[in-house]
């Protein structure tokens, strides 16, 4: 028999554990998953693959609902890679849109090797959608997905040249929606996360995503009618993904498409910057891993340089990080890319 005082302590401890959401107690009521559209230039830098894997893992945790993926790299292998990768993760049903006359048409270094890779005599990726699949124009798919979504529900993540998002902002009413692009975004989108630009004064050059399609970036930053959080080049540059994780956390690295792509992108071993990953991490888990600039506005000049102006009425900001927070945030990124959080929930 348990003595009364011990019983009281146990009861108090159990109550505290449950209120902290501890495992083993009652589960916290799960928040509704965040509806996400992911606009990516898969095939340019490797961080897009890792950012996509983070989203797929968040979805497996019930924290994200992927509505669709739009491709802003104008290379046919991007379609096959995206479809094969989604299919590998059980999401071959996800809508895909493509930028038919967009920028960065080159093959890059990892799309074709990963598509050609085999394991145990089978292709690792088994794409069914290709350039011949008549995919919708990306900005039209964006319009469709937004039109079908509840008001104020969608998070738009932009981690490549902003061609598709720019065309969305500039789009006119059509048979999909009577709203022009900016109004459609205003009604349906809760927030935009964009890996784009360079902030804080430590460096001074046009950031790559912005530079590839300057008119599109100017359009997005000047017209975006909802809160936009940018991740600047300088942020992901401080958080280097450990190559040991690529070698150890995906089973046989010769058989997993992320590890194969990472190994093909550059000569191993290397620790790559986590630019696109930071936008995903913050928009799904705001106020946890990063700090923020004051509110303000971001402008892009004709040469592609980004400029931030603090303004209490502004709805744009950029991510920051304190040096002391870097190890924990990097571990947060690794856990999400590798899916370690799936097992822990
Ligand atoms: Ca990218």
Q: Report d(CA 154, CA 233) in Å as an integer.
A: 25
- Residue 30's pLDDT is 72
159 CA distance to ligand 1 middle (Å): 4
294 CA distance to ligand 1 middle (Å): 25
194 CA distance to ligand 1 middle (Å): 10
Tell me the CA distances in angstroms from 9 to 19, 24, 25, 269, 336, one per residue in order. 15, 17, 16, 52, 36
Closest by CA position to 47, among listed 320, 254, 255, 235: 235
51 CA distance to ligand 1 middle (Å): 9
Closest by CA position to 309, among listed 324, 323, 293, 321: 293
Collapsing DSSP to helix, strand or coil, 240 comes out as strand
What residues in the chain have per-residue pLDDT under 70? 1-29, 343-345
111 CA distance to ligand 1 middle (Å): 14
158 CA distance to ligand 1 middle (Å): 8
97 CA distance to ligand 1 middle (Å): 16
User: Residues 219-239: pLDDT tens digits?
Assistant: 999 999 999 999 999 999 999
Q: Report d(CA 58, CA 34) in Å as an integer.
A: 9
Strand partners, 230: 194, 318
User: Residues 288-318: pLDDT tens digits?
Assistant: 999 999 999 999 999 999 999 999 999 999 9
- Residue 78's pLDDT is 98
Q: 130: burial class by Cβ within 10 Å (0-12, 13-18, 19+)?
A: middle
Query: 13: number of CA atoms within 13 Å, CB side?
Result: 7
Collapsing DSSP to helix, strand or coil, 39 comes out as strand
Collapsing DSSP to helix, strand or coil, 219 comes out as helix
42 CA distance to ligand 1 middle (Å): 6
38 CA distance to ligand 1 middle (Å): 11
């Amino acid at each position: 028999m348990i003595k009364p005082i011990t019983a009281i302590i146990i009861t108090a401890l159990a109550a505290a554990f449950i209120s902290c959401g501890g495992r083993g107690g009652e589960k916290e009521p799960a928040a509704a998953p965040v509806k996400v559209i992911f606009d990516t230039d898969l095939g340019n830098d490797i961080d897009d693959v890792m950012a996509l894997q983070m989203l797929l893992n968040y979805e497996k945790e019930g924290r994200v609902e992927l509505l669709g993926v739009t491709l802003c790299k104008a290379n046919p292998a991007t379609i096959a890679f995206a479809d094969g990768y989604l299919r590998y993760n059980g999401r071959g049903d996800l809508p895909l849109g493509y930028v038919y006359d967009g920028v960065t048409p080159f093959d890059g270094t990892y799309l074709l090797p990963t598509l050609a890779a085999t394991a145990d005599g089978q292709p690792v990726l088994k794409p069914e959608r290709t350039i011949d699949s008549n995919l919708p124009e990306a900005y039209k798919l964006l319009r469709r997905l937004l039109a079908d979504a509840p008001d104020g529900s969608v998070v738009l993540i932009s981690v490549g040249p902003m061609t598709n998002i720019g065309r969305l902002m500039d789009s006119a009413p059509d048979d999909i929606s009577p709203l022009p692009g900016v109004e459609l975004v205003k009604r349906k989108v809760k927030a935009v996360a964009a890996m784009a630009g360079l902030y804080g004064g430590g460096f001074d050059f046009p950031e790559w995503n912005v530079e590839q399609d300057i008119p599109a970036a100017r359009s997005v930053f000047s017209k975006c009618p909802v809160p936009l959080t940018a991740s600047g080049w300088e942020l992901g540059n401080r958080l280097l993904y450990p190559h040991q994780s690529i070698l150890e956390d995906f089973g046989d690295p010769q058989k997993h498409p992320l590890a194969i792509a990472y190994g093909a992108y550059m000569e191993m071993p290397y620790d790559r910057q986590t630019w696109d990953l930071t936008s995903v991490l913050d928009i799904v888990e705001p106020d946890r891993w990063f700090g923020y600039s004051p509110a303000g506005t971001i402008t892009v000049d004709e040469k592609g340089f980004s400029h931030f102006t603090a303004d209490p009425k502004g709805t744009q900001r950029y991510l920051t990080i304190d040096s002391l927070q870097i190890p924990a945030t990097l571990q947060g990124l690794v856990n999400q890319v590798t899916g370690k959080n799936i097992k822990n929930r």
